[in-house]
């Protein structure tokens, strides 16, 4: 089976490629390396005979024209992401995310035996409903989506993903839409709440303080191994054809303050948590209803939050905090 993963050198793409390569897929990773890095982990993956990295810019004309028509699975994970990027250049987020998907859809249409196009949307598609109406928690995929105030820069990312979902729905291709919910784990970069809090806890002096923003906001967290297992099974399942699926973990539903406490226990340092104001635009609560995904894939998350945090911290401590390895954005 030939598989293409855009954004393949990034956090999700790397772990997905590792899983697929182990099950016999020939995996081509497409990435412009704007956020990801070529580190020892990626080098080890690329030593496998069935994995290849192609450094391409999906915004360039004909970027994929030389790759042929033999792909059976295409995962589109590439996008401009990150709150800082969204706030700095919202127009590019809207326009370029759409352009990348449009280019990939045309590439997918030329494949002779395409089984599935998997498009990574976002849990933020529910943000407009939470902001203006009543959002059921846990949130099923069937809720009608609402729009936030369009003048806010942060809305640009979720709007690009809603547009992307519509493009896939109307493309005539065999697709599965996935809405990731707070994945975490090794090699995810530092601009995310779990590794960011781990880094500050690891470098703090015992008896000091740990500033925590949005301390009362609630989230569920999905370890990356569980996330890519769901992605793999969703792409392979006929029951998931032309469906929209939450990808995540339904419980435990914890506050960011509770997460910070668990991280301090994982790191093994005693600090006083100081509550800071909520991050502007951050949803007060996010929790996916996983009943549909579990029913269609037969899979539910196996890694508890405590175990996932232990695995994540062990990697960051050895490779980044003390190993000085370069880390993705």
Domain locations in the chain as residue ranges: 2-183+222-249+286-302
Q: What is the pLDDT of residues 32-80, one digit of tens each?
A: 998 878 999 999 999 999 999 999 999 999 999 999 999 999 999 999 9
Residue 4's pLDDT is what? 98
Q: Is the pLDDT of residue 189 over 70?
A: yes
**Beta strands, E only, the chain:** 2-6, 26-31, 51-55, 73-76, 116-120, 175-180, 183-184, 209-212, 218-219, 222-223, 243-247, 254-255, 272-275, 285-286
Q: What is the mean pLDDT of the chain?
A: 94
Angle at 240 between CA 252 and CA 164, to 5 degrees: 85
Class for the domain spanning 2-183+222-249+286-302 = alpha beta
State the Cα–Cα distance between residues 125 and 147, nearest whole angstrom: 8
Task: Using DSSP bridges, classify how beta strands 222-223 and 116-120 pair: parallel, antiparallel or unpaired.
Answer: unpaired
How large is the average pLDDT for residues 245-258?
98
Q: What is the pTM of this model?
A: 0.96
């Amino acid at each position: 089976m030939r598989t293409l993963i855009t954004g393949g050198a990034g956090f999700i793409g790397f772990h997905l490629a590792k899983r697929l390569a182990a099950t016999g897929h020939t995996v081509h990773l497409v990435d412009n390396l704007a956020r990801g890095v070529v580190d020892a982990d990626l080098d080890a993956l690329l030593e496998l005979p069935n994995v290849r990295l192609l450094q391409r810019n999906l915004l360039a004309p004909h970027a994929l024209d030389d790759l042929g028509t033999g792909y059976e699975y295409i995962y589109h994970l590439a996008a401009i992401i990150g709150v800082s990027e969204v706030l700095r250049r919202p127009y590019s987020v809207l326009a370029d995310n759409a352009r990348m998907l449009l280019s990939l859809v045309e590439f997918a249409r030329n494949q002779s035996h395409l089984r599935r196009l998997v498009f990574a949307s976002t849990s933020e598609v529910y943000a407009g409903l939470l902001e203006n109406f009543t959002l059921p928690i846990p949130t099923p995929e069937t809720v009608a989506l609402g729009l936030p105030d369009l003048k806010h820069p942060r809305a640009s990312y979720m709007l690009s993903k809603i547009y992307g979902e519509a493009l896939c729905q109307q493309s005539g291709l065999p697709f599965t839409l996935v809405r990731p919910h707070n994945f975490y784990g090794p090699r995810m970069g530092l601009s995310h709440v779990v590794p960011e809090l781990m880094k500050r806890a690891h470098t703090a002096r015992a008896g000091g303080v740990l500033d925590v923003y949005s301390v009362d906001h609630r989230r569920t967290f999905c370890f990356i191994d569980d996330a890519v297992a769901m992605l793999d099974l969703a792409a392979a399942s006929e029951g998931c054809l032309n469906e929209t699926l939450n990808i995540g973990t339904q419980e435990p539903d914890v506050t960011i303050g509770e997460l910070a406490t668990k991280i301090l226990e994982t790191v093994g340092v005693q600090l006083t948590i100081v509550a800071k104001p909520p991050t502007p635009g951050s949803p007060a609560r996010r929790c996916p209803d996983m009943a549909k995904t579990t029913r269609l894939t037969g899979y539910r998350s196996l890694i508890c939050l405590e175990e996932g945090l232990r695995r994540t911290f062990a990697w960051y401590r050895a490779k980044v905090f003390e190993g000085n390895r370069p880390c993705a954005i």
